[in-house]
Structures are given as C-alpha cells and as structure tokens.
Amino acid sequence: MSRPAVFITGAAAGIGRATAVLFAAQGYHVGAYDIDEVGLTRLAAEITAAGGSVHTGVLDVTKDTQWEQRLDEFYAEAGRLDILVNNAGILRSGRFESLALSAHQQIVEVNVGGVLAGTHTAFPYLRDTPGAQVVNLCSASAIYGQMDLATYGASKAAIKSLTEALDLEWETYDIRVIAIWPLFVATGMVDGMSTGSTASLGIRLTADDVAAGIWRATRKPGRLRKVHYEIGIQAKVLATLAKYSPNPVVRAVNKHLGNS
C-alpha cells in the first residue's frame, strides 16, 4: 500500500476518534483500535462514507498478545507503519485515599503498561518504515502533580520520561517519538468529573483541537528535534510557568488551582 499508515489506540471515541477521522481525510490508511466494537463500527462507516481507508480491530492495550496480533494484521495489510498513536487511557479523579487501590493500579496498567506494550511490540514495524513516528498522549496535569489526579498525573509523567528516552534511543533508527500535552478535553473521560482544577480552569479544548495538534506535530519537524507539544494556551502557560518559575511558586499556583 503506497499511502501512509497510522495505528491509533482508543479510537472509538474522543481524541482517538477525531484523530482517525482527520488522518483518513488527509489520505492515511487508518488502523483504528479499541475495546468498543460498536464505536469502531460507527467510525469505520463514517470514514468509508467519506472515501477514506480504515481497518478496525478490538484491542485491549493491556494484553500483549492482542498487540502482537493487531500490529501484525495491520502491517501485513498496509506494508508500513508511519505513525503509532498511543492514545488509549483512563482517568479516575478524587483524593488519593478515597479511590480504591485497584483503581490506581488500573490507571497505571492502562496508561503506562499499555504504552510500554504497544511501543515495544511496534518497534520492528516502525524501524522498517522510513521516518516513522510515535505519538504519546500526555497531559498538562503531569506538568506538576495535580490534586484529585495524583495517579493519573503520575502515569502521564512516566510517559513523558519514556518519550524523551525513546526519542534519544531511536533516533539512530530514524524513529521520532513525541508527546502531546493537552489540558482538560471535552470528551467522555471528563463526564461527571469535578476537581478544583477543572473548576478554576474550565474544559476548553475539544477532541478536534487535540487531533489538529497531533496532525501539526507529525508534519516534518524543523532543525530542532522538538519532543513536547502543548495544546492550547492554558497548557502553554502552565508549561512555561513550571519551566521558569521557582518551585515554591509553581507549587503555590497548583495548590490554588486545586483548591478552587
């Protein structure tokens, strides 16, 4: 297949779905994967009706064997893997001690374990595709630990470090690894969520905003090998604050946001 190929997890809804639709419209062969078969069927119908190319499959990102099967199937069909988008994730909000230990563990299993499994399994396909890229969904909640989102933010901070390390390690294979940093996005993940941060900052981004950010980030990079891409003015401000302000100031700002 001559057209470029993108493999997207968590594609049945939200950011993953918007990204799949956008990349299909731009001529990519889209691999859309999720545990939600109904959502995938609807997505495939929309992309196909618009003249796009899509392959869907059920994928639980915590299952190594499913990663092996889905990536093998997709590569056999597409003959290449230009972009892997690690989007699948879960969010649980609330004070740390109020959430069951199993809920914290599930966040780590999906948000960290799923990315580890997928990226590791995808390596040979990425290596064999010139100019391949990995896109990891981070979160502005990981810029500094957020009240009510302790483990979620920690999981995204882990992905930040993984992204940076792999971008250094895999440069020799012509594989670029980048992180996308939105703040709160109006998707099903935040339905019913009430935290101090969402109350003070609001939920201003849409899934389409993030998809557009992923599209821009995956275009040809400039001379500087940029790794982190904040989405939206709020994320940019918070990242700049964390980078240039003394730690006590950053802590005070985040405490204020969390208590609002």
Which sequence positions are flagged as catalytic?
152
Query: Is the CB of residue 15 less than 8 Å from the CB of residue 207?
Result: yes
User: Checking DSSP bridges between strand 83-86 and strand 53-58, what pairing results, if any?
Assistant: unpaired
Q: Side-chain half-sphere of 156: how many Cα atoms within 13 Å?
A: 25
SS3 228: strand
Let me know how long the chain is: 260
Please name which of 54, 10, 59 lies closest in space to residue 29, comparing C-alpha atoms.
54
Distance CA(165)–CA(163), nearest Å, equals 6
Distance CA(227)–CA(246), nearest Å, equals 23
**Cβ density class 39-70: b for 16+ within 10 Å, e for less:** bbeebbeebeeeebbbbbbebbbeeeebbeeb
> Can you read off the two tokens belonging to residue 68?
């092996």
Distance CA(153)–CA(108), nearest Å, equals 10
Please name which of 188, 185, 183 lies closest in space to residue 239, comparing C-alpha atoms.
183
Distance CA(169)–CA(57), nearest Å, equals 30
Query: Is the CB of residue 63 less than 8 Å from the CB of residue 112?
Result: no
User: Checking DSSP bridges between strand 176-182 and strand 133-137, what pairing results, if any?
Assistant: parallel
